[in-house]
Amino acid sequence: MTRKLDPRVGRSTCITAQIHKPRRKHARWIIGIGAAPAFTLAVSFAPPAQALTVQEQGWQVANSKCKSGDAKQCVLRDQLSAVLKRHGCVYHDDGDWWKCTGAR
C-alpha cells in the first residue's frame, strides 16, 4: 500500500525550509561577529606567558638526566637549585618545578 502525500503539505514544507534557512545563517554570522570582540577582550586580560630563565631550563634538563642515573647532572642540578634559591625562587615538590616571582 502506497501513501500519497498531499502536494500542498510538501510545498509548504519546502517553502518554510527555504524561508528559514537564510535566517539561520545570518544568526550564526551575527553570533560569530559578536563573540569575536568578547574573545579578544578576554585574551587581553589574561596574564602574559612567562618564559623560563636559563637557570630554570638548565635545572629541568639536569633533573631529568639525574633521574635517569647521571651523577654529574645531579651535582649540576644541586648547584642550579642553590642559584634559584638565591634569586628568590621556590621549589615545589608536587611536580618538580620552580616558581620565580619578581624581576628575573
43 pLDDT more than 90: no
The amino acid at 100? C
Between the alpha carbon of residue 103 and those of residues 16, 87, 89, 100, the distances in Å are: 64, 9, 11, 9
pLDDT at residue 12 is higher than 60: no
Residue 52: per-residue pLDDT: 84
Q: What is the DSSP string of the chain?
A: ---PPPHHHHHHHHHHHHHHHHHHHHHHHHHHHHHHHHHHHHHHHSPPPPPPPHHHHHHHHHHHHHHTT-HHHHHHHHHHHHHHHHTT-EEETTTTEEE--S--
Confidence of residue 37 (pLDDT cuts 50, 70, 90): confident
Region 8-32 average pLDDT? 60
92 phi/psi in degrees, rounded to 5: -115, 120
- pLDDT tens track for 55-98: 999 999 999 999 999 999 999 999 999 999 999 999 998 888 89
Mean pLDDT of 27-55: 73
